[in-house]
Structure formats: C-alpha cells, structure tokens
A and B are shown apart, each in its own frame.
Chain A
Amino acid sequence: MNAMPGIFAAATGADSLLERWPILFRDTVAGFFPAPLQWLVGSLISILAIVAIFGGVFAALTLLERKMLGRVQNRPGPNRTGPFGLLQPIADGIKMLTKEDIVPRSADHLLHFLAPVALLAFSILTFAVIPFGRNLVPLELDAAVLYFFAAGAATELAIFMAGWASRNKFSLLAAMRALAQLISYELPLLLSFVPIIMLAGTLSMTGIIDQQAGWNFGFIPKWYIFTPWGFAAFAIFLVAALAESNRSPFDLPEAESELIAGHLTEYSGFKYALFFMAEYFGMIALSGMAITLFLGGWRAPLPFLEFIPSYLWFGAKLLGLLLLFIWIRGTFPRLRMDQLTRLAWKFLVPLALFNLGTAAFWSLTSGWSGPLQLARWGVAIALVVVPFVLLGRGLSRGVAPRTYRFA
C-alpha cells in the first residue's frame, strides 16, 4: 500500500525545543509501538490533537461569541455559570447531551441521522492539511489547496441530506436556499485563491508559506496581503468565507430569528449541536486557510519576534480573524436572498477575475526596480481600485444611496 507521503515530517535540529516538542512527543509515543504500527499511532496522535484542541477552541469560541455579542448589544452576556460565565460551554454541552432527540415520524431516519455526522466529519477533514506551526502539518500533500476544497465540497451534500430527510417543506426549501448560497460563493472563494497559487507556483501549503518568508526593508513582512492583488483577494475571500460558513450577514440559511433555523428545523438535541459544531469548525478551517495563504501562515510579523513558537503565532492570527468574524456578526444587518446572489455573481466574481489580471501583471513585472517599482505599485493599485469603484457604482445606480423621508 502507498504510505501517506511525508506523514512523518522529521523535526530539524535547527529549531528550538519549544518549536520541536509536539513532533518529539509524537515520535516518542509512536516509538513505544512496533515498527509496522508506528505510522498509524503517529497519525492517531495527530488526529486526537486536532479533535481535542479544536473541540476546546469551539467551546471557548461559543462563550467568546456570546460575551462579545453581549457587549456589542450593551448587555453583559452569559454570567451565571461559574466566574464571569466561564463554565457556560460545559452547561451548554450537558444541556445538549440530555435533551430529547426528536426525529419526525415520516423522516428518512438513516439520512436524518447521517447528515449531521457527515457534515461534521467533512469539516474536520479540512483540518488535515493546514500548517499549524513550523513542523505541524498533519498531512503534507502536493495538492493541499485542492484537497481543502474537495473536503469542503461535500458539506453541501450533507446540508441537502438534512433538508430532504426531514420531510418538511420548510426544511427542504431552506436547504435549497442554503445550497444556492454555498454554490454562489464557492466561485469567488476559489477565484480569490487562484492569484496566490499563480504567484506562489504551488498548491502545497508549506510551499505557499515558504514563499512568504522574509521582510521588505527589514520590517514589512512579505505576506501576500501586503500586495495590491493580495489585499483585494483577501477582501474577496473574507466576504466569500463569511457566506460559506453561514455567518452573519450571510446567515439566511438559518436566520434563527425569522426563518426558524432553516434546514435545522427538525433537528434537536445533540444532532443540532453537531451542526453547530460543524459550522464553527468550518469557520476555523477557513480562517486557517486565510492565515496560510494571505497572512504568512505561522510566521512572525517582525524579525525580533521570531523567538515566540510558530504555533502561538498561528493561534494569535486565528484568534484575530475569529474576533473579526464575531465583530462583523454584531455589526452588519442580514442581506436579502436576491442581494446575496447578486453580490456574488455581479460583483465578487468579476472583481476576482480582474484580480487575476492584476496578479498576472504583478508576476510579469517582478523584474522592475527603482522608480519602475513605484509604477508597478501604482498600476497594480489602479487595477484593483478602478474596477471596484466602477462596478460598485454601476451596480448601485438608481438604487443607492437611498434617501429616507420620515413623515
């Protein structure tokens, strides 16, 4: 059988002990087992670490989100369980586990059960290729970016199964609505990654991070977000990622306040919690992807900060992105369905295609130096800003800005 390539990335001696200990720990534990089993044990340890760490992150994130939304809405948020409400995730977990699991009598029982399981399984699969630290890549693949999207593509299937198996016309309609949204935003999401792959010349996550090593003028990191096309791609990615992970302002598949949670209507108890968990895992995985592709992965932002272990930098960037998502949820009103699809097809997709041209220009002019460097930046910025302004003006002509007259 084919062994997974590079599943045993060896720790190099140049790194500090802080950097190497997760790999050393894994290899030491795997060393207790006979040689044919070692790869299996090593993989199991990686899987256990991912499930345990991101399960914990999920629990902490639910509390953080409720607390932050509370502060945004000028109320304290959960504060009854434990000090400052810190035990709220545990209380939530017990509640979800002990709740009655209701399955509609005419539902398709097997699919109704399989949908949340499949959704969660596929969203955990996406974690396999994300580099969490210098040596912490669970699975080193040559086509890692493609793997990420392949694993994510199956979530649409799970949502369809949930909506159809419930045997409830509202669930089915909501599932179709969710699918329309997911399919619409898959395209700008993919297109926003293409410039990165073009410029990095690789689909491997490690290769993309290696391309972002070093600093300009000694203090500006060579991360892709600090280039005109990289910034535009990141903005497109952010909008598309919010929509792909069903986050506000694109949460109308669920819209718990008016659409009774869409395809989740007939789910209760722990199955509902699984959907919830999958949504957060999806958000974390997409953030991890954004960190890898745009924010330099686990690299430190400044040269003298490199003594801090790489996985802590990854964690800090992840926390920053998640806080940004929560902030957006607390700030923006929800879009309407037609506005949602219009934004994707008429605005984000053309912008992403223009951005491809910008990236091509950037790649072709990589030899320019001196004053030509300024011209390169100017042209690239113009290539990003002019289509953005023109498209935005064209789309909102005659409609926005609206004037409201109060009687």
Chain B
Amino acid sequence: MTGLLIIALVTLVPAAVAMALRNVIHSALLLILSWAGIAAFYFWAGAEFLAFSQVLVYVGAISMVVLFAVLLTRHTRTDGGVAPDTLGRALAGLLIGGAVLGVLFGAVLSTPLPIGSKPAAAVTVHGLGVELMERHTIALLVVGVLLTVALLGAVVLAASDSRSGPEDAR
C-alpha cells in the first residue's frame, strides 16, 4: 500500500505543480515525470509490458512532441498567458473542464470493477500477443491503418514541392 501511495504522489504532485508553474518547459518536464509515475503504477500492478510501452511511447516519443511544440510556439520562457482574456472564456473553460471531469467520473463510477484479494494471473508478452492477434485482430488492423493514414497525412502536409538543387541532395 505504501508503494501505491508513493506512486500516487509521484504522479499527482508533478501534475499539480505543472499547472501552477509559469515556465512552460518546466511544466512539460513535470508532465513527463507524471507520465513516468503512471508507468510505475502499471509496473506495480504487474502489467510489465504496458509499463514499458508507456515509458517508450510517452516518456520517449510524446514528450518530444510536447517539447518541440512548446519551443516552436513560445518566444520567451515565461510568456505563458495564464489569466483568461474575458469572463466568457473563463466560464466556457470551466464548463468544458467540468463536463470532461463529470464524464470521466461517471465512467469510472459506473464501471463494475471486480474487487477481491486474489491477484490477477500474470500475463506474459506471449499471451498478450496471442490475445491481440486472435481475438482482437480486426481492432489491431483498424488501429494500424488509422495510424498509417495519419502518418501519411502528416507527411503530405509537411512536404514541400520545391525541387532541391544538385548540391542539396544526398
């Protein structure tokens, strides 16, 4: 139980501090620490594969996207506009945030979770692969196609038509 408490602290405190900081890069780095905390929770719960995937995808890749986005859009380190411009925007923000929170809480509370003391059987990577490839093949393929299309779209958006000179190439 102490382990779970420490993991919860590592996950929630950086997330809370990240919202309060004015330095956006610091916020982003704390957010990454929070993601690592979630990975630690997966590991604590026995989902080894999921924990490593979380680190690989969130700490390794999505963190880079976040940091690049921050660096490419901000001009100085501390120009984060924290105060809302108008009362209407503040209200809209509160409303949307509250709605998301409500939906999440509703989903969590209405899901029947098996509560018991017996630990779940450890799932090996092999078992996970068989499960994905046999029972959820369609879902896996659909996700794969979706990601490929997204990737192609990004390449099309980013590619420029200008021909390169002979000295630019290779």
Contact = CB atoms under 8 A, between A and B. Distances in A.
Contacts, number: 75
Contacts of B44: 2
Nearest to B45: A2
Nearest to A186: B60
Contacts of B166: 398-399
Interface in B46-72: 46, 48-49, 52-53, 55-56, 59-61, 63-64, 67-68, 71
A143 B125 contact: yes
Interface string B122-147: 00111000000000000000000000
Interface string B24-56: 010001001000000000001010110011011
Interface string B69-107: 001000000000000000000000000000000000000
Interface in A142-156: 142-143, 146-147, 149-151, 153-154, 156
Nearest to B25: A164
A153 B126 contact: no
B23 to A, nearest CB: 9
Contact of A153 (B46, B56, B67, B125): B56
Contacts of A150: 52-53, 55-56, 59-60
B3 interface: yes
A153 B61 contact: yes
Contacts of A400: 170
B168 interface: yes
Contacts of B169: 398-399
Residue among B3, B46, B169 with the highest chain A CB neighbour number at 10 A: B169
Contacts of A154: 55, 59-60
Interface in A188-217: 201-204
Contacts of B125: 142-143, 146, 202-204
Interface residues on A, range: 35 or more
Given A149-B56, A154-B60, A156-B64, A143 B29 contact: no
Residue among B29, B55, B60, B64 with the highest chain A CB neighbour number at 10 A: B60
A300 B95 CA distance: 67
B53 A146 contact: yes
Nearest to B124: A142
A141 B122 CA distance: 13
A164 B68 CA distance: 11
Contact of B48 (A142, A202, A399): A142
A10 interface: no
A1 interface: yes
A183 B64 contact: yes
A395 interface: yes
A120 B125 CA distance: 29
Contact of B52 (A2, A143, A204): A143
A161 B126 contact: no
A111 interface: yes
B25 A201 contact: no
Contacts of B126: 201-202
Residue among A141, A142, A172, A201 with the highest chain B CB neighbour number at 10 A: A142
A146 B56 contact: yes
A338 B68 CA distance: 19
Contact of B3 (A1, A157, A186, A204): A1
A396 interface: yes
Given A142-B124, A203-B125, A157 B63 contact: yes
A338 B168 contact: yes
Contact of B170 (A176, A202, A204, A395): A395
Contacts of B68: 176, 179
B20 to A, nearest CB: 17
A342 interface: yes
A153 B59 contact: yes
A204 B125 CA distance: 9
B74 to A, nearest CB: 12
A396 B29 contact: no
A16 interface: no
A272 to B, nearest CB: 22
Residue among B48, B52, B59, B168 with the highest chain A CB neighbour number at 10 A: B52
A157 B32 contact: yes
10 contacts: A111-B29, A143-B52, A143-B125, A150-B55, A153-B59, A156-B63, A157-B63, A179-B64, A186-B60, A338-B168
Given A142-B124, A183-B61, 11 more contacts: A142-B49, A150-B53, A153-B61, A156-B60, A157-B59, A164-B71, A179-B64, A202-B126, A203-B125, A204-B125, A342-B170
Interface of B: 3, 25, 29, 32, 44, 46, 48-49, 52-53, 55-56, 59-61, 63-64, 67-68, 71, 124-126, 166, 168-170
Interface of A: 1-2, 111, 141-143, 146-147, 149-151, 153-154, 156-157, 160-161, 164, 172, 176, 179, 183, 186, 201-204, 338-339, 342, 395-396, 398-400
Shortest beta-carbon contacts, A-B, top 5: A153-B60, A150-B55, A146-B52, A150-B52, A150-B56
